[in-house]
Structure 1
Amino acid sequence: MLKNVMVDAENLASSIGVLLTALESDEEVPKKEEKVNQNEKTYEIEDVRKILADKSRLGHTAKIRELLEKYGAKKLSEIEPSNYKDLIADVEKL
């Protein structure tokens, strides 16, 4: 527990340092939304393939095929990488 408090204190000190540096240099302080986007998960085709294979083994093969068609493809390699995140979101709903 003490270690968690120390880590939180270090993070707080770091955040304060960033804010002070930004204020001193008249830079715009990054908004929380921008930080969230930087930490957003990105998927590679191997990640997506594994997730689809796991769902397929659970009996969702037909639904996965329907989702691939929803994104204009008959197989994963035909899907644009920019759509991987949305595809994974749909697959996780199965």
Structure 2
Amino acid sequence: MKEETLVKVSGEMETCGKALLKLAEALRAKEETLAPEPQKNEPGSTKLTLEEVRKVAADKARQGFTEEVRNLIHRYGAEKLSGLDAAKYEAFLKDLEVMGHAG
């Protein structure tokens, strides 16, 4: 390739790169404005997700409370954690957190 062609192509690549950066910034800004606000249950608290509850349940199972976790899921009316009513996540999580503490 001739040097003159290389200079032209490199300039076009630079222009393309700048355009891609601007596009990425615009998409990022749009994503931030479209991101949903966390829903509030009470002032200062957000709804729990299944993933958050699953993490605590998995931690308890790793600590040796697998059967207790399974029984707690059943007491809350579900066969498995994914079947647990989201309205019960907070109470379920509280029960999980005290699991294994003498009391």
TM-score over 0.5 for the pair: yes
What is residue 73 of structure 1 aligned with on the other side? Answer: 78
Q: How many residues align?
A: 59
RMSD: 1.5
CA distance in 1, matches of 2:52, 2:93: 10
Max Rg structure: 2
Structure 1 unaligned segments of length 5 or more: list them.
1-36
Overall identity of the aligned pairs, in %: 36
Question: Quick one: which of 51, 60, 63 aligns to 1:55?
Answer: 60
For 2:47, the aligned partner's letter is T
> Which amino acid in the other structure matches residue 40 of structure 1?
S
**Structure 2: distance between partners of 1:78 and 1:52:** 14
Pick 1 or 2: higher relative contact order, CA cutoff 8 A, min separation 6: 1
Q: d(CA) in 2 for partners of 1:49 and 1:92?
A: 12
Matched, 1:44 2:49: yes
TM-score of the superposition, structure 2-length normalised?
Answer: 0.54
Query: Counterparts of 2:47 and 2:60 in 1: how far apart (Å)?
Result: 19
Q: Following superposition, which runs of at least 4 residues in structure 1 exceed 3 angstroms of deviation?
A: none
Cα drift, residue 72 of structure 1: 0.7
> How far apart are residue 44 of structure 1 and its match?
0.2
Structure 2: which 5+ runs fail to align? Answer: 1-41
Q: Structure 1 length as normaliser, TM-score?
A: 0.59
